[in-house]
Structure 1
Amino acid sequence: MEEKRPFYGWNIVAGSFLILAMPFAVIFLSHSIFLRPVTEALGFSATQFSLVFTIVAVSTAAVSPFMGKIIRKYDIKYVMALCGAIVSISFGVLGIAKELWQFYLLSVVIGVFATGITQIPISYIITNWFPSEKKGVATGIAFAGGNLGAFCTILVISNLMPKIGYEKCYFILGSVMFVVTIAISLFVIKGKPSDIGQLPYGTKETTINVKINKDEEEVTGYTLAEAKASPVFWIYIVAIVLLGLVFAGVQMHIPSYMQSVGYSLQFASMITSLVSIMGILSNVLIGMLLEKAGIKKGMLIIGVFMTLSVVCLLFGKTVAFAILFAVIFGAFIAIASMGPSYLTSEIFGKKEYGTILGIVIMFFQLGGAIGPTLSGFIYDSTGEYTITWVIFIVLLIVTFGTFLFAINLASKKRIVKDNVKHM
């Protein structure tokens, strides 16, 4: 009798965790630590350098729909390895950029190829290995890598930068990203359980017929055309755009805001690190919350606390409120990293999940492109962030209200799984 091999899906989760701990964390979560050092050294304004984040987001958005198709057509581990190499080298080269156009050009390259090493391929792989049972937990653990990577990056770089300069910090991060992404992509990642003769988590391999039925079940859901024809999709997209706008607008300006109200770079880094520490736990907790409470109640709870966190930010001049913001915001921040992939899978199914997720990520990144630039523009115009936080509080209420409306409408149309129907 052939010995049953251990389920490889948890190796995939661990590998995804490590990949998201570097390129995703560095590019999308902790790059803001470079904002003030670079602008002070090279004479750029906050708005000008914030456009770097915007260009990355726009480039990622533009390519996302195509990446959703590419990862279904080609061996995903080679796509991830190639994209990881290009992103890593380009990020390291930022260390020798001196002109704005050089930062902008490299940001285009980073954004284009980041689509092949971050959310879209990781979400696609996790959904293949965990189509239903434990999907929230597996997704949460994988995306927790982003927060751990951000925490470590901010902790190390904020201490190194004053000693060796931001230029060498770019080189160091690019080198580490290169090693991690290439090694994990080529030697750990397996796109589907069938690639190594296994079945998705929770599938019982008792008879051939069961296997066939399971395979059929795994591809149920909406095609892209069917999804785009549904009003639920476009309501959901509005919420996705707003989610990206608010989270990027807040996330990328935390260090700058803390310093603008009188705190030191070390305290600003500590607050940003605290957000990342809480975010490590947040991914698993959010995954469990959405699985146990259902996406309707789960999103309501998340919306209430996220709004409360930005209210605390309004009073961030007081140390207690600054810390309270970091704790609450960090505890629920995972909805921005894993939310789009998890919600898209729950609402629209697996039939063309990669392609639909590519469109969703495109709109999410478009929102993320607007947020940091909006925050930088308001700060440059007013010299403070108060108006920005008030705007974001209102937008958070609208964002989660829109999500709940889309979920309710989806439930009525019976395109959401049973966890919505039975709430």
Structure 2
Amino acid sequence: MDTVSEKKPVSNAYKYFMIFLCMFTQAIPYGIAQNIQPLFVHPLVNTFHFSLASYTLIFTFGAVAASIASPFIGKGLAKVNFKVMYMAGIIISALAYVIFGISSKLPEFYGAAILCMIGSTFFSGQGVPWVINHWFPGKGRGTALGVAFCGGSIGNIFLQPFTQKILAKYMVGGTKTGHLESMAPFFIFAAALFVIGLIITFFIRTPKDNEIVATKAELEEAKKAAAEAKAKEFEGWTSKEVMKMPWFWIFSIGFLIIGIGLASLNEDYAAFLDTKLSFGVVGTIGMMYGFGCLIGNVTGGILFDKLGTAKAMTYAAVMYVLSIGMMIFVSFQPFGSHASKVAGIAYAIFCGLAVFSYMSGPAFMAKDLFGSKDEGVMLGLVGLAYAIGFAIGAPLFGIIKGMASFTVAWYVMMACVVIGFILLIISVVKIKGMQKAMMAKQNK
């Protein structure tokens, strides 16, 4: 039988359903595996008498482990049935939460965090792009990816306050000194992650061999548009040439320092706010952070396209300075004050609006600054600089807090953000100048 006649086109509605499943993956399984973990920091530190610096190393170990595992997981996706890989990630992350629930020593928590981060790479970090790229091989891929990854921000809107309510139910004492009476929250979230992940697994998939996800005309149009864009784009330098540029190293150092400053805003905000506000209010602030991230992710690409790298990152810098300023303000307020609630919400919105700087920022900056010649390598190097800083930032914040106070720690993070962005923005301006000089020379 002629296999061509057996091929059938897939409706746009079904492809949109795949986007929804990816968005749902980001909202619940990924949200549980990654986004709500900072909310457990303060209760666990109080319960087991860990130092903040030692416990927050879970984020460092998790990030490093996921970075190492990610390339191998990517290769596995090309060889193993996607549903199997997706479910494997769900099981690993759910198991990690079970391990969290039976742990009492730091190495056990570290091991659980590593498993959780690696598991989420299966279904989120590698899984979501894998699905989207297969269902949208041509037109609409970028939009589909953007919508899918917005799920994480949407999930934050309700997961954050829900998590705080669950924790409050199993807490004894106030938010400052209270401890967990039971580790039941971990088992609740392990079950939720597994059940919802299992339901998604029944439906999510990549196209079958006999399914047409894009017409020949659409693929040709996409190929033509890509060729035209490639002809106009800056070819750039090789990675070896870039590595010899002093301004590249200043750029990387700046992005690394930014990572140090921003780690505390993402990983330590709940542990700090728990000392100043009730669980319910902290949950509300987490919800507002979700709204801010949703807007920030959607508008980030527009800002880069309209303003360019230097101006977009300057905008991000202002937002982060304002957000840390809110945290410093809260640190001087008495427990439960209305001013702290307002400042906390302002922090969440400011911080969320600038989230594009490290979400889509590395991919945009790598190509915009250094060209397309070694785009993949440069993306890895740019992302690595931020990742190293982020891995250092969370435990460093805890160390400073332990030696001094939260207020001093926030001042140090503010200094890191300001210094890092100054170095990055100056280097961006200098590299763009080198780029213009090179293009002018080529045109002659």
Tell me the TM-score normalized by structure 2.
0.75
User: Is 1:253 the equivalent of 2:259?
Assistant: no
User: Is 1:377 the equivalent of 2:399?
Assistant: yes
Label 1:287 to 1:132 Cα distance change in 2 as closer, same or farther (>3 A). farther
Which is further off, 134-143 or 102-111?
134-143
CA–CA separation in structure 2 for the residues paired with 1:70 and 1:190 = 14
User: Is 1:393 the equivalent of 2:393?
Assistant: no
CA–CA separation in structure 2 for the residues paired with 1:229 and 1:186 = 48
Question: Is the 8 Å Cα contact of residues 243 and 367 (structure 1) preserved in structure 2?
Answer: yes
How big is the shift at 1:323?
Answer: 3.0
CA–CA separation in structure 2 for the residues paired with 1:217 and 1:127 = 21
How big is the shift at 1:95?
Answer: 0.9
Question: Is the 8 Å Cα contact of residues 120 and 358 (structure 1) preserved in structure 2?
Answer: no
Tell me which residue corresponds to 1:31. 37
Aligned AA (2:280): Q
SS in 1 for 2:273: helix
2:151 alignment partner, one of 107, 127, 145: 145
SS in 1 for 2:123: coil
SS in 1 for 2:183: helix
Which is further off, 317-326 or 38-47?
317-326
Which is further off, 392-401 or 5-14?
5-14
Aligned AA (2:112): L
How big is the shift at 1:410?
Answer: 5.7
CA–CA separation in structure 2 for the residues paired with 1:293 and 1:198 = 34
Question: Is the 8 Å Cα contact of residues 218 and 350 (structure 1) preserved in structure 2?
Answer: no
Deviations 1:171-205 (A, max 9, x none): 222222223444445632438x9994334xxxx84
User: Is 1:289 the equivalent of 2:303?
Assistant: yes
User: Is 1:279 the equivalent of 2:293?
Assistant: yes
CA–CA separation in structure 1 for the residues paired with 2:408 and 2:65 = 28
**1:230-245 alignment, distance < 5 Å:** 230-231=242-243, 237-245=252-260
SS in 1 for 2:122: coil
Tell me which residue corresponds to 2:204. 188
Label 1:401 to 1:345 Cα distance change in 2 as closer, same or farther (>3 A). same
Which is further off, 331-340 or 69-78?
69-78
Tell me which residue corresponds to 2:212. 197
- Select the structure with the greater relative contact order (CA < 8 A; seq sep ≥ 6): 1
Label 1:298 to 1:379 Cα distance change in 2 as closer, same or farther (>3 A). same
Question: Is the 8 Å Cα contact of residues 324 and 347 (structure 2) preserved in structure 1?
Answer: yes
Larger radius of gyration: 2
**1:11-410 alignment, distance < 5 Å:** 11-67=17-73, 69-71=75-77, 78-123=84-129, 126=132, 137-164=143-170, 167-184=183-200, 187-190=203-206, 196-199=211-214, 205-206=216-217, 213=224, 226-227=238-239, 229-231=241-243, 237-260=252-275, 262-316=276-330, 317=333, 318-319=339-340, 320-344=342-366, 361-382=383-404, 384-405=405-426, 407-408=428-429
Which is further off, 174-183 or 48-57?
174-183
Count of residues in Structure 1 that have an aligned counterpart in Structure 2: 408
CA–CA separation in structure 2 for the residues paired with 1:378 and 1:163 = 31
CA–CA separation in structure 2 for the residues paired with 1:399 and 1:87 = 33
Question: Is the 8 Å Cα contact of residues 68 and 354 (structure 1) preserved in structure 2?
Answer: no
Which is further off, 6-15 or 166-175?
6-15
How big is the shift at 1:50?
Answer: 1.4
Deviations 1:263-307 (A, max 9, x none): 333333332332223222322222333344444432222222222
Label 1:64 to 1:163 Cα distance change in 2 as closer, same or farther (>3 A). same
Label 1:248 to 1:123 Cα distance change in 2 as closer, same or farther (>3 A). farther
Label 1:339 to 1:61 Cα distance change in 2 as closer, same or farther (>3 A). same
CA–CA separation in structure 2 for the residues paired with 1:300 and 1:124 = 32
Which is further off, 352-361 or 161-170?
352-361
CA–CA separation in structure 2 for the residues paired with 1:72 and 1:160 = 39
CA–CA separation in structure 2 for the residues paired with 1:264 and 1:372 = 23
Label 1:254 to 1:80 Cα distance change in 2 as closer, same or farther (>3 A). same
Tell me which residue corresponds to 2:177. none
CA–CA separation in structure 1 for the residues paired with 2:135 and 2:432 = 25
Label 1:207 to 1:125 Cα distance change in 2 as closer, same or farther (>3 A). closer
Tell me which residue corresponds to 2:174. none
How big is the shift at 1:244?
Answer: 3.3
Label 1:239 to 1:183 Cα distance change in 2 as closer, same or farther (>3 A). farther
Unmatched tracts of structure 1, length 5 or more: 416-423
Tell me which residue corresponds to 2:173. none
Question: Is the 8 Å Cα contact of residues 252 and 424 (structure 2) preserved in structure 1?
Answer: no
CA–CA separation in structure 1 for the residues paired with 2:426 and 2:357 = 17
Aligned AA (2:311): K
Unmatched tracts of structure 2, length 5 or more: 171-180, 334-338, 437-444
How big is the shift at 1:148?
Answer: 2.4
CA–CA separation in structure 1 for the residues paired with 2:27 and 2:145 = 14
CA–CA separation in structure 1 for the residues paired with 2:216 and 2:430 = 36
Label 1:361 to 1:208 Cα distance change in 2 as closer, same or farther (>3 A). closer
Tell me the TM-score normalized by structure 1.
0.79
CA–CA separation in structure 1 for the residues paired with 2:299 and 2:149 = 11
